[in-house]
Amino acid sequence: MDAADWYKLLHQSVFGVGHLISGQPDAARLRALRREAASRTRIGFHESLIDPLDADWRLVRLNLRPYARVARDVADLVPVMAETARVVSGTSQLMTKRVELAARWLEKRIPEVSNTLRRMGFLLALDDFPPIHHSEGFERRYRPAYRVVLKELIPGTLRDGEARRAFETCFRESARPAVSIADRRKAVYNQT
């Protein structure tokens, strides 16, 4: 992950999904969601149902590929996204704090990314921290297909044991282990 991907992850953890759905009618959201879920082919590594965006797992990236394998229809996510956008409203102060904490954590691990993230955070703060896209490298490697939602709003059938077994079965034959975004972030969020 480069600095842009760290920034995007931090932005999502603070501001949620509001930028994605503001001013867009439900029908348009549903068309976009179905198009993305259908266009994303299987990838060569295990992909979890959710990846946490904050320390208490309240806000998560819900990955569409595994979700589509067990959910009847992605249409269930439209109200989940709308409610998430209504509930989650971050602040520039929190974003500034998270960028600095992440930069400090990265300093010891990937100094060049840390420096770039700090500069990026400073410059984007001048524009009130706008959302950005993933880096091209991240897009090529992971082909991300997810929605940021509040975990408690995910349809209940996906939290039971049967759904969990279905997800495990979907990726049992994967050649590579999961790349855990949570592990890379754990230290950052535990400092807040």
User: Domain limits of the chain?
Assistant: 3-190
Say how far apart CA 93 and CA 13 lie, in whole Å.
13
Whether residue 153 has pLDDT greater than 70: yes
The tokens describing 159, both together, are 């939290």
Q: In this structure, which long-range contacts are made by residues 166-169, counting pairs with CB atoms below 8 Å and at least 24 apart in sequence?
A: 166/69, 166/70, 167/48, 167/49, 167/66, 167/69, 167/70
Of the listed ranges 53-67, 150-164, 175-189, the least confidently predicted one is: 175-189
Instruction: Kindly report which listed range (87-91, 97-101, 128-132, 163-167) carries the lowest average pLDDT score.
Output: 163-167
User: What is the share, in percent, of the chain residues with pLDDT greater than 70?
Assistant: 73
Beta strands in the chain (DSSP E): 50-52, 59-63, 146-150
Q: Report DSSP state, residue 176.
A: B
Identify the DSSP state of 60.
E
Residue 45 pLDDT greater than 70, yes or no:
no
Q: Which pLDDT score, from 0 to 100, does residue 192 have?
A: 43
What pTM does this model have?
Answer: 0.76
Show the tokens assigned to 148. Answer: 């940021």
Mean pLDDT for the stretch of residues 113-121: 97
**5-9, 92-96, 181-185: which has the minimum mean pLDDT?**
181-185
pLDDT at 129 over 70: yes
C-alpha angle with apex 91: 90 to 94, nearest 5 degrees? Answer: 95
**Lookup result for tokens 């954590």:** 105
What pLDDT is attached to residue 125? 97
Is a pLDDT exceeding 50 seen at residue 173?
no
Range ranked top by mean pLDDT from 37-41, 83-87, 119-123: 119-123
Q: What is the pLDDT of residue 174?
A: 33
Which pLDDT belongs to residue 39? 66
Take residue 16 and report the two structure tokens written for it: 């949620």
